[in-house]
Amino acid sequence: MKIKSADFVMSNSDVTKCPKTKIPEYAFIGRSNVGKSSLINALTNRKSLAKTSGKPGKTQLINHFKINNEWHLVDLPGYGYARVSKSSKKTFQKFITDYFALREQLICGFVLVDCRHEPQKIDLEFMEWLGLNGIPFSIIFTKSDKLTKNTLPVHIENYKTKMLETWEEMPPYFITSSADKNGCEEVLSEIDRLNKLF
């Protein structure tokens, strides 16, 4: 899919105040610093459409971007990072779960996972929550440029093995890098395919 336009629409922390337009929507979610905002910039070929930072906790709100005047891409804050006490750190910020539970236009949530790390409990729990709530999702492995050609497939296989402990099958997944744009075409093709089904 060719990106002809990518425009910031609005930011807020209340799903009921998100754009009312009924165009297909895709949201990027995952731990802080996993590379959600960077991937939005890589996919849209924009340097700073979404704000990124080396420090976790940069994105704090639900950010809507309108792509090609046809669909929305949504940048969300990282879960597991909140200015909350340690004991409740594991919980997903309420407005994030509200967003997923209530946003009717959402076609697919993309759960971003850093390919360098072992499967993290918080990601597995979030995917389980999506599954229990019947919310379609795919996995996007990020930062593939940080692993060698040999270690990357080992990490992906390890992740699949972990997923298959709870899931009947591995959800659709993509291997990406915002640094070298690896996998960006594939993610855009998937969105294009889903847009056409909408």
Where on the chain is the footprint of ligand GTP (CB under 6 A)?
32-38, 52-54, 56-59, 77-78, 142-143, 145-146, 177-179
Partner whose footprint covers residue 145, from Mg ion, ligand GTP, none (CB < 5 to 8 Å by kind):
ligand GTP
The owner of tokens 């690896």 is 182
Least gap, CB of 38 to Mg ion (angstroms): 8
Strands 71-75 and 137-142: unpaired
Tell me how far, at minimum, the Cβ of 126 lies from Mg ion, in Å: 16
Q: How far is the CB of 61 from ligand GTP (least distance, A)?
A: 10
Amino acid 178 reads: S
Pick 121 or 146: Cβ nearer ligand GTP: 146
For ligand GTP, the closer CB: 93 or 105: 93
Judged on CB neighbours under 10 Å (0-12, 13-18, 19+), 11 is middle
- Choose the contact partner of 143 out of ligand GTP, Mg ion, none; CB within 5 to 8 A by kind: ligand GTP
Indicate the residue whose CB is closest to Mg ion. 59
CA dihedral 80, 110, 180, 45 (to 10 degrees): -110
Q: What DSSP letter does each residue of 144-159 carry, written as one string?
A: GGGS-TTHHHHHHHHH
